[in-house]
Amino acid sequence: MNSDALERRMTILLLGADDMDQTAEAAHAIDREHRWGNPNLQLIRALETAVVVCYWRPFSQSNSMGHLRAKDALDASLHKTMERMRNSVCPHRRELRSNCRNHVHTTTEGVQGLAFTDRQDRGHSARRVEG
């Protein structure tokens, strides 16, 4: 490996380590939020998204710096779980994006929930998130 490739790989690994630190911090914040007894569910949802996004960023092929490979993950089972979580919401699945629609349920108090459905399933595989 030449020095430029080595430097690039080192940068990818250092950025990946920073992303994993952010992943861990978001996970700890979720844990703290639950332990305080009156969890803010909107905050927990945002933090859950942060966990998945921060974890997946170093593995993303769209990462302009370069990306890690699945074999670089220390825990293959966790990696597969995070990949499923990343792909579980319809808009993140390229093959379904054009067939996806979401429904926002609002009241005078604001958004009460979301439902993501595949248009071909006519709502049979809806993933509902209640507020």
Tens of pLDDT, residues 99-123: 444 444 445 555 444 444 444 444 4
| 49 and 75 in a common domain | yes
User: For tokens 């305080």, what's the residue?
Assistant: 36
Q: What is the mean pLDDT of the chain?
A: 75
Q: How far apart are CA 22 and CA 24, in angstroms?
A: 5
Rounded average pLDDT over 42-63: 90
| 10 and 54 in a common domain | yes
| 81 and 105 in a common domain | no
| 41 and 60 in a common domain | yes
Q: How far apart are CA 88 and CA 6, in angstroms?
A: 35
- Residue 89: band (very low, low, confident or very high) from pLDDT cuts 50, 70, 90: low
Task: Please give the residue range of the domain that contains residue 9.
Answer: 3-88
| 71 and 101 in a common domain | no
Can you read off the two tokens belonging to residue 27?
A: 């996970």
pTM: 0.65
| 100 and 38 in a common domain | no
Residue 124, by phi and psi: left (phi above 0), alpha (psi -120 to 50) or beta?
Answer: alpha
The percentage of residues in the chain with a pLDDT greater than 70, rounded to a whole number, is 67
| 45 and 78 in a common domain | yes
| 116 and 76 in a common domain | no
pLDDT in tens, 6-34: 999 999 999 999 999 999 999 999 999 99
Crossing angle, helix 41-56 and helix 3-35, to 10 degrees? 160
| 100 and 44 in a common domain | no
φ, ψ dihedrals at 3, nearest 5°: -65, -35
Select from 26, 22, 19 the least CA-distant residue to 46.
26
Strand partners, 101: 117
Give how many domains the chain has, as a whole number.
Answer: 2
